[in-house]
Structure 1
């Protein structure tokens, strides 16, 4: 899975760079991803962060929690929330 993610990120970065944008990517593999992302951004700020969202609602969101919602509340930089499907 990590290799597939890396391949997807590489392709997206290539497209953005060809449009003249500066990009970077980081795969966060942590039990608590939000603090890890916030810490990373404190050390290496970005202009914007793109975050995937599964779009869970209702009971599923309450039971599982929402990394994206937590990140929205804690991120020191703007976020672009992209649906993963």
Structure 2
């Protein structure tokens, strides 16, 4: 059975729901969890105008601080449920790559993540991080939808 789950979280309602399902699964199987939040890298051209005044270091510091607060809450919820939980924030323009690398580095044997269900042209234009994890990972992936 699975002993160490990597749960990809992004703050969305669907990812929060997937985390809670993974938490129940971890309780039932006595597994531990690593929650990972993949954050975007710094860009000079961006639609977030507040980023234009930041330096790369300021941006990364702010992203890591924000993700840290979020992941602290996630870890607290896991602790309340009696599930050991490690957290990780990865700054990477390719969230799927950060998710897979973290799962490999932490010796996880199952990746759990949500699928936002984008289809058609929107799915093609935006792309699916879940699909990229599914196609690139050698570790089994459980998709919550």
TM range (shorter): 0.7 to 0.9
Q: Which residue of 1 aligns with 2:105?
A: 43
In the alignment, does 2:117 pair up with 1:55? yes
Q: Which consecutive residues of structure 1, in runs of 5 or more, have no partner in the other structure? A: none
Larger Rg: 2
Q: Which consecutive residues of structure 2, in runs of 5 or more, have no partner in the other structure? A: 1-9, 41-93
TM-score using structure 2 length: 0.46
1:42-70 CA distances to partner (integer Å, 9 max, x unpaired)?
Answer: 21122211110011110110110110111
Equivalent pairs, count? 80
CA distance in 1, matches of 2:96, 2:143: 14
CA distance in 2, matches of 1:17, 1:54: 22
CA distance in 1, matches of 2:35, 2:142: 15
Relative to total residues, which structure has the larger strand share, 1 or 2? 2
Q: 1:27 to 1:40 in 2, by over 3 A?
A: closer
TM-score using structure 1 length: 0.73
CA RMSD of aligned residues (A): 2.6
Q: CA deviation at 1:39?
A: 1.3
